[in-house]
Every structure is written in C-alpha cells, then in structure tokens.
Amino acid sequence: MKFNGRFYDLTGTVHLSTAVVFFIAVCCLFPLPFPHAASSISPGNPLQDGAIIVSPGGVFELGFFSPGSSKNRYLGIWYRNSAAAVAVWVANRESPVPNSFGSLAIAADGNLVILDGDGRNLWSTNVSLPLASTPVAALLDSGNLVLKTSDAIEWQSFEHPTDTYLPGMKVGLDLRTNVNHVFSSWQSSGDPAPGNFTMGMDPDRSTQIVIWENGDPCWRSGRWNGQTFIGVEGMVPEYIYGFRLNNFESEEEMYFYYNVFNSTQRFVLTPDGVAKQLLREDSGDLWTEIWAQPSVECEIYNRCGDYASCSDGVNNSPVCSCLKGFVPQPGGGCRRRMPLQCERNTTAGDKPDGFFLMPGVKLPDLSDWDPVSLNESQCKQSCSTNCSCKAYSFVTGIGCLVWARDLVDIHIFSTGGNDLYLRLAGEELGE
C-alpha cells in the first residue's frame, strides 16, 4: 500500500523502470535462486549430496552434512539462517554415507530412502504406502519432513525424533500400546548415532519427563501441576516456557508440547545426558541457554538412595541423610528403624502412627494419584487408613498423592518444593 501511494503520481514510464530496478534489487539482496530451489522431493527427482531443500518460508534446510570433525555424511535438517550449525534432526544416524555420493530419493515402493553412490539402500522411512500412490517429501517451516500422498501424511520426521524437541512436536507415550516415543542423545558431537541417554514421558503415566541412561532413570522433572514441573527447583510458570500437557484423557497419547513467539527455541538432549532449552531472539543469531537439567548433583536420580534425602552442600555437593525414623543400611540407602504400628501386633501402651512433615522437597518418585481425596484432610485420612501408605502430599494443581512403593529420589530444595507427610511409628514422633 505504501509503495502504491509513493508511486501514484509518477508517470507510467518512471513507474515501470522504478519497479524493474526494485525487482533487480530484491533479486540480488535475497538469495532467491536457491541452489536447488525446491522444498520437496518427488519420484525421479532425488536430492544429491551438495544440494539442499529449503522450507517454503526459508526457516529450515535439509541436506547432507558432516558433524564435527567427522568425514561421514548424514542427511539432516538445520536452521537456514543460523551461523551456528545446528542439526535438529538426522535420518541415517546409524548408517552414514562414507563419501559425498549419497542421495535422498523416493524409491519404487514410495518410501523415502538414502542411497550410497552404488545405489545401496542405507536408510528408509519403511512404511507401507498405498499402491499406485505418488508420494512427495516436503520440508515444512516447522522443521518437519513429511512424506505424503494426496490423501494422507504417511510418515513424518516429527514422529521419529532424534535429540531435539522442536515447537509443534507431539511425541510421547501411546496410552493404548504403552509404546514410548523418546528423544535420544547423540553419541558425541561428531557422531549422531544414538548415545546412552534417552528422554521422554514417564511410562508410569505420572505426567513427568524422565531422562534415562542406558534405560535407568537418571533425572526426572516431577509431576506437571498445570503450570510447572514440581520437581524442577525455581521453575516459573508456563507462560515463559510455553509448555502444555495435552488432554490425555480424551486423546490416546500423553505428551507435552510448546509454542513460542518472537524467538526460535529448541530443547536438546546432549551426549552427556543434560536436557537444555535454548533460545535465539529472532533479531539475532545467539543461542542462549535458558534451562538445563540436571543442574546439581542432588538432581541425579536417587543420588542418596532409598529413604534418604539429598541437600545441596558447599559448591552444590550432595549431602545425604536418612529420612527421620530411618537408619543407614548396608549397601546404601536407609531402612525404617521402628515398624509402623499398623504393621505390628499392638500391645498395650503403643502409640498410634503419625505423620512427620518434610517441607520444601522434590517429592519422591513412584507416587500414586488418589482421585477420590479432594482436600488435604481427606488425603491424610486416605493414607492413614491403608497400612501400605508410607507418605502423602496434597499438591495444588494435582491433588492427593500417596506413596505405597519405596521412597526414592528426594531432594531438599533451597526454595520452593512441596510438603511431604512421612508416616512414622508414634514412638519416632515427638517427645
């Protein structure tokens, strides 16, 4: 509109030549002629190493690259306008092309495949496509690579994540099959093969995110309370992080998702098992780390063992203590000193069991949600009347949590945290 107004009273000739000059200027300033200007691959049009595909709005690129000092070639997706080479997805993580003669093509069966220079198949999307369909692979501005026919999306990279969690991804725990879609770290900065760490939803359906090392938990976020993860010390509400939990009661999957405004963001699981949230202002090219977990040693899963708590000491070194009423046991962790009254044969003069308040903690793992107890006194009542209940907590935004399994991974926070009520024999309580 502005241009129209400015050119309005010029003669036709001047108008035309100005427009031509303007057009030439635009052509030269912006890299309109992308080397291979497509944003999709169709049958008969493979992508050779050296060529790239650009998403329609120029946000992401797809092509072959070599990470770090590696000579191997991998098919990956990265930000187009970033000085820092950041691969957000890698296809052939475990089967690199050893030279620069690889290509990405649509095979006769319709799958997207990576071929080496001799035409050997190194990687495939490996889905069954409808017969006689003509699929096309397209890179979207979200960073998602999709293989689609006229009818449907047959395969998408967002459902096969590597180490990076991008806005718009919805991958998590399939509640029908219990199959968990997890992110997995690279081996190292020069090797995108799956490393020792994975990250995903807790299969226990506890609405927390867990990092595993070779399958064993090594960090967990704590449950989601609608705004924050209660096990992340100092986490401010979702409007900064943009996290949401899906409505898993009506969907058949449980996952977190996030959206961002005026910045580019990603989560990455590093080769050494740290989940980092990185942000780049749209006005610059600097990636800033805004969040990283685990951050202190007490955040390492169950660092002090069962029935023990971990507090941050000097230089955040861990200080382990048995919970009140528990004593160290050989082999690590602690055990209850005095059995609960509900576990014993009562004798005259026995004191009733009670609860000991531990304020400001990262609540132990392995809790069960009690949907029936709607306030703190009902929650306490529910725990008191079941001898297998070892502790309870009533948490705003979640409700009544009870623990019947071992009490593990308790971190005493310096600020924030929740109140844990630990069940003890009366003899352990008070004078």
Ligand X SMILES: *[C@@H]1O[C@H](CO)[C@@H](O)[C@H](O)[C@H]1NC(C)=O
**Where do contacts with ligand X occur on this chain (CB under 6 A)?**
124, 126, 187, 195-196, 214, 261-262, 344-345, 368, 374-375, 377-378, 386, 388, 404
Q: How far is the CB of 341 from ligand X (least distance, A)?
A: 11
Q: How far is the CB of 214 from ligand X (least distance, A)?
A: 5
Cα distance between residue 227 and residue 150, in whole Å: 39
Cα distance between residue 196 and residue 140, in whole Å: 30
Q: How far is the CB of 280 from ligand X (least distance, A)?
A: 14
Q: How far is the CB of 50 from ligand X (least distance, A)?
A: 25
Q: How far is the CB of 419 from ligand X (least distance, A)?
A: 15
Cα distance between residue 277 and residue 139, in whole Å: 23
Locate tokens 């770090």: which residue? 68
Of 151, 116, 128, 98, the C-alpha closest to 46 is: 116
Q: How far is the CB of 73 from ligand X (least distance, A)?
A: 19
- Whichever of 18 and 196 has its CB closer to ligand X, that residue is 196
DSSP 130: P
- Whichever of 196 and 321 has its CB closer to ligand X, that residue is 196
- Whichever of 52 and 211 has its CB closer to ligand X, that residue is 211
User: In the sheet where 145-148 sits, what is the strand order?
Assistant: 40-41, 136-139, 145-148, 153-156
Q: What sign does the dihedral 177-274-226-167 (CA atoms) show? A: negative
3-state secondary structure of 118: coil
Query: Which residues lie below 8 Å from residue 126, measured CB to CB, with a gap of 6+?
Result: 111
Are the CB atoms for 156 and 145 separated by under 8 Å?
yes
- Whichever of 260 and 320 has its CB closer to ligand X, that residue is 260
**Nearest 5°: phi and psi at 12?**
-55, -45
- Whichever of 253 and 368 has its CB closer to ligand X, that residue is 368
Where does 296-390 show beta strands of DSSP type E? 308-312, 318-322, 326-328, 334-336, 354-362, 368-370
Q: How far is the CB of 344 from ligand X (least distance, A)?
A: 6
- Whichever of 16 and 374 has its CB closer to ligand X, that residue is 374
Are the CB atoms for 201 and 223 separated by under 8 Å?
no
- Whichever of 70 and 124 has its CB closer to ligand X, that residue is 124
Q: How far is the CB of 188 from ligand X (least distance, A)?
A: 6
- Whichever of 197 and 326 has its CB closer to ligand X, that residue is 197
Cα 198 versus chain centre, distance: 9
- Beta-ladder partners of 78: 61, 87
Q: How far is the CB of 345 from ligand X (least distance, A)?
A: 3
Locate tokens 């992340």: which residue? 232
* Alpha-carbon radius of gyration of the chain: 28
- Whichever of 18 and 378 has its CB closer to ligand X, that residue is 378
Q: Looking at 179-314, list the stretches that DSSP marks H as alpha helix, in order from N- to C-terminal side.
A: 238-241
- Whichever of 196 and 295 has its CB closer to ligand X, that residue is 196
Of 331, 173, 332, the C-alpha closest to 245 is: 173
- Beta-ladder partners of 40: 138
Burial annotation 407-418 (CB, 10 A radius, 16+ → b, else e): bbbbbbbeeebb
- Whichever of 85 and 374 has its CB closer to ligand X, that residue is 374
Q: How far is the CB of 348 from ligand X (least distance, A)?
A: 14
Q: How far is the CB of 154 from ligand X (least distance, A)?
A: 13
Are the CB atoms for 40 and 136 separated by under 8 Å?
yes
Cα distance between residue 253 and residue 247, in whole Å: 9
